[in-house]
Amino acid sequence: MARATAHPDHQCISSEDIHGTEVYGADGKNIGEIDHLIIDKVSGRVAYAVMSFGGFVGLGHSHYPIPWSALTFDTSLGGFRTNITEQQLRDAPEFSDDSWQDRDWETRTHRHYGMPTYWEGRGGL
C-alpha cells in the first residue's frame, strides 16, 4: 500500500506519509515521487511539492519544486497525478535556495505550470 493511502478513510494526511508517494503523468506512467513539501509559514498552506522525477531521464537536477496545486490524488493509483511534462520541467524558472524568498520567482513558476498561486488560489494539504 502506498504511504499516502495508509489511512484511506481520513481527510487529512501527515506530511510524513506524503514523502515517497508516487507521482504519475497524464498517461498514467510513474514519473517519480514526492521528496518533501514546502509550507507557507504564515498561512499554513502547502505551497510546493519538491519532486524527484526519476522517470524523466536526462534532466540536470534530481529535485524540482512544483506547485502543490499541480497535483491531484488519484485513489485508483494510490498516488498523485500531474499534467506536468518533461519539457515544462526543462523550461521551468531556474531554482536556487534563495528562490523561496523571491515572490517574483514564485509567480513565474506558477504561471509557467499554469497554476494559481498558493497565496491567491487553491492551497492547503
Domain total for the chain?
Answer: 1
Check: CB of residue 51 under 8 Å from CB of residue 35.
yes
**Is the residue at 4 inside a domain?**
no
Mean pLDDT (whole number) for 27-33:
85
| 108 domain-assigned | yes
Closest to 64 measured CA to CA, from 80, 52, 72, 73: 52
What's the confidence (pLDDT) of residue 30?
Answer: 85
Q: What is the CATH number of the domain that holds 31?
A: 2.30.30.240
- How many angstroms separate the CA atoms of 93 and 105, rounded? 7
Total residue count of the chain as it appears in this document: 125
Q: What confidence tens digit (pLDDT) does each residue in 34-80 have?
A: 988 999 888 888 999 998 876 555 555 567 889 999 999 998 888 99
